[in-house]
Amino acid sequence: MLVIKALHISLVVAWFAGLFYLPRIFVNLAMVPADSVAERDRLLLMAGKLYRFMTPLGVLAVGLGLWLWLGFGFTGGWLHAKTTLVVLLIAYHLYCGQLLRAFIAGTCQKNHVWFRWFNEMPVLVMFAVVFLVILKPF
């Protein structure tokens, strides 16, 4: 089980790297002038590759988390809270995919300030999850 736990933690770290960086690319995309096609295309290429790379990492992280859950049992309020936050992260990840498709289609109407706030959400969730896992407060 320790190998599964180590793999889970490593995959979570890698998935979070994508969750931190993809919205930052969205900030830059929202700031690209309309006439800067090459810059927009380059950022879209980066965002698409990152999303395709981070999705399997997230799937594997969640899958190994489920394996650990089945191995150790689903007990304690902290684990219920953590699971809720993981579900929110999955929704965040999928919403990033919708935003990417909107950028590709040229229909994204959100500005860079909105994306700057959006970019902070996984950081806050990460802090909450780490504190829940380490402290197990309830």
8 is in an annotated binding site: yes
In degrees, rounded to 5, the angle at the alpha carbon of residue 43 between the alpha carbons of residues 37 and 49 is: 130
Answer yes or no: is 136 a known binding residue: no
Secondary structure (DSSP) of 38-94? HHHHHHHHHHHHHHHHHHHHHHHHHHHHHHHHHHH-S-SHHHHHHHHHHHHHHHHHH
* Binding-site residue set for heme: 8, 82
* Binding-site residue set: 8, 82
